[in-house]
Amino acid sequence: DIDHLNLRVQKELVEWLNWLKADIGFDGWRFDFAKGYSADVAKIYIDRSEPSFAVAEIWTSLAYGGDGKPNLNQDQHRQELVNWVDKVGGKGPATTFDFTTKGILNVAVEGELWRLRGTDGKAPGMIGWWPAKAVTFVNNHDTGSTQHMWPFPSDRVMQGYAYILTHPGTPYIFYDHFFDWGLKEEIDRLVSVRTRHGIHSESKLQIIEADADLYLAEIDGKIIVKLGPRYDVGNLIPAGFKVAAHGNDYAVW
């Protein structure tokens, strides 16, 4: 174990981070198991190494009901993510992985897309509260891949990417999905739509519909995304929008 409260440890880790920046060329940090030490310690490392980007892994359990599924209200879960960024410094480069969105998406794509509209009408994950500081993802090396600890439904992975690559937040693409699963072209197409229309971490999200079999949302008034098997949604799509990307149970106009 590393004693992060030891001043010598802090000094040597800061020197190492600055060496990684100056000599190797890294410009951002990922804080693994960030709940294993205080946000005050993470703030020391960030403030003294000045990365352009930093993201923390704060993986805690969602609140579950008696049916074994996540409760609709996950405010306590996302509040923990927000609190970490607040303590480290909201005006700096610190962000956190949006585990709240990940957990809700896992279940929502299995025929419960109503979960993607929170009780306040906004996105139910951290992106509904502080999207500029939320790093969204479908799977990572812990949840998917060989460890398979909290995997996204494998046959619905592209619905997950259609969501995070069109929505606010900073989306993260999993290496396995891009290079090993044969999804490169589909993911590339969604990235192109995001880039072409200037969708960014603080883009404005308007949820049009959120039912069991349909989630429909407009982002920045520029693109519309649909998740779910419901096919006939033409009456909900404003004139002038044309399909830019589509796949199994998702489409983007």
Task: Determine contact, residues 57/31, Cβ cutoff 8 Å.
Answer: yes
Catalytic (active site) residue 32: yes
Q: Collect all residues with Cβ–Cβ distance below 8 Å to 187 and sequence separation of at least 6.
A: 158, 161, 165, 173, 177, 178
Rounded Cα gap, residues 208 and 34, in angstroms: 36
Q: Going edge to edge, which strands form the sheet with 53-56?
A: 28-31, 53-56, 94-97, 134-136, 170-171
How far is Cα of residue 48 from the mean position of the Cα atoms in its chain? 27
Of 32, 47, 50, 120, which residue is the catalytic one? 32
- CA separation for the pair 176, 184 (Å, rounded): 10
80 tagged catalytic: no
Query: Which candidate, 184, 165, 124, places its Cα nearest to that of 250?
Result: 165
**Active-site residue identified among 57, 142, 176, 209:** 57
Amino acid letter for position 54: A
Cα→Cα distances 212→103, 114, 195, 215, 252, Å: 17, 5, 29, 8, 19
* Identity of the residue numbered 198: G
Which residue stretches of the chain are H helix? 7-19, 39-49, 75-89, 99-108, 157-164, 175, 184-196
For residues 43 and 213, give the distance between their C-alpha atoms in angstroms, rounded to a whole number.
43
Enumerate the active-site residues. 32, 57
